Amino acid sequence: MSPGEVVPPDEPAPRADTAPDVRAASAESAAERTARAVMWIGPVLATLATLIWSGNFVIARALHEDVAPVQTAFWRWIIAMLAVLPFAAKAVWQQRQLIRTHLRYLCGAALLGVTLFNTLIYQAGRSTSATNLALIAAASPVLIVLFGMIGRGGEKVTGRRAVGMVVALVGVVALVSKGSLSVLLHLDFAVGDLWMLAATATFAGYTALLRRRPEGISGISFLFTTFLLGTVLLIPAYVVSLVVQGGFTPSGGTVGALLYIGVASSAVAYFTWNKAIDLIGAARAGIIYYLQPVFVAIVSYFALGEDTSGMQVICMALIISGIALGAGKKN
């Protein structure tokens, strides 16, 4: 360097906190993206499960004269286990110690969600009307929210969510009764109504239990394990049904129906419902369950050619409005 050469000033050293700021901003951005994804994915999964279960009610009604309720439930879960097994076997084996540790909890979830819920629905369908079934099922989201509030860490119900539930419930009752007060006043209650009320309570209890699922047990392991335990708990009732009522002769119709409720209504719908509870909680998912009569009406229109009146359209709009109000992110 020559004596007259000017030395350029050193470049300012980068601030020590620049990198952490960048990382923090990146982490915040990732968290926002995740939150946005949860906002949409959870409700979509709950809606998909509700749509699939809408078909289950129709099929259950069609099977009631050919297959005894307990036998329908038993073969449903056998098929469901076989459908889930290839995806669950490795995870179940790896988590076997956790499953053994939390066996009591898993048995409780299996009893409510697998052994009792659908068996009670099939039993109810033998001795009460479709209108009564639908009206009692409308209480399910309310019970889900109430059960979800119980215990440590229970979900809070805000005013907006409560209003949304009421609006959706009014829409369901109006849809089922075709907007006629006389239909509600002249309902004939039967033993099947008690079976359906019990089914509604068991499903709400099962949904509330989902938010207490032990850490480390994956969704697919939980699904297979509860299917297995629930089926084992059904065996005594299944044997009694075979002795008292006799078996059934498989046909194309019965096998197709059992495959639908075993694969779609059990394996697929339960997986998506359980995942929705993980993402958005029991209260928000429970309100989405009000979509069931809307889906039944839509399926009946396209598949069975049943007429849809202006009153039904208004009722369905009311239900959807209540769900949007009560199941939205900001509640």
| Cα(173)–Cα(193) distance, integer angstroms | 16
Indicate if the pLDDT at residue 242 is higher than 90: yes
| Cα(162)–Cα(153) distance, integer angstroms | 19
Amino acid at 52: I
Reference 172, options 87, 305, 294; nearest CA is 294
Mean pLDDT across 176-185: 68
* 46 Cβ contact partners less than 8 Å away, ≥ 6 residues apart: 272, 273, 276, 280, 284, 285, 288, 289
In this predicted model, what pLDDT tens digit does every residue of 188-226 receive, in sequence order? 666 777 888 888 889 889 988 888 889 899 999 999 999
| Cα(85)–Cα(293) distance, integer angstroms | 32
Per-residue pLDDT, 37 = 63
Mean pLDDT across 266-272: 94
| Cα(43)–Cα(286) distance, integer angstroms | 10
Mean pLDDT across 73-97: 95
In this predicted model, what pLDDT tens digit does every residue of 122-153 receive, in sequence order? 887 777 666 566 667 777 777 887 777 766 55
Structure confidence at residue 62 as a pLDDT band (50, 70, 90): low
Indicate if the pLDDT at residue 2 is higher than 50: no
Mean pLDDT across 104-114: 95
The 8 Å CB, 24+ separation contacts for 273-278 are 273/45, 273/46, 273/49, 273/207, 274/210, 274/219, 274/222, 274/223, 275/42, 275/45, 275/219, 276/42, 276/43, 276/45, 276/46, 276/49, 277/207, 277/210, 277/211, 278/210, 278/211, 278/213, 278/219
Which pTM does this prediction carry? 0.76
Percent of the chain with pLDDT over 70: 70
In this predicted model, what pLDDT tens digit does every residue of 274-301 receive, in sequence order? 999 988 888 788 888 888 777 777 766 6
Mean pLDDT across 15-24: 53
Mean pLDDT score across all residues of the chain:
79
Indicate if the pLDDT at residue 330 is higher than 70: no
Reference 201, options 142, 273, 156; nearest CA is 142
The 8 Å CB, 24+ separation contacts for 225-229 are 225/92, 225/99, 225/106, 225/110, 226/106, 226/109, 226/110, 226/113, 226/114, 227/77, 227/80, 227/81, 227/84, 227/110, 227/114, 227/266, 228/81, 228/110, 229/106, 229/107, 229/110, 229/111, 229/114
Alpha carbon 24 to chain centroid, angstroms: 36
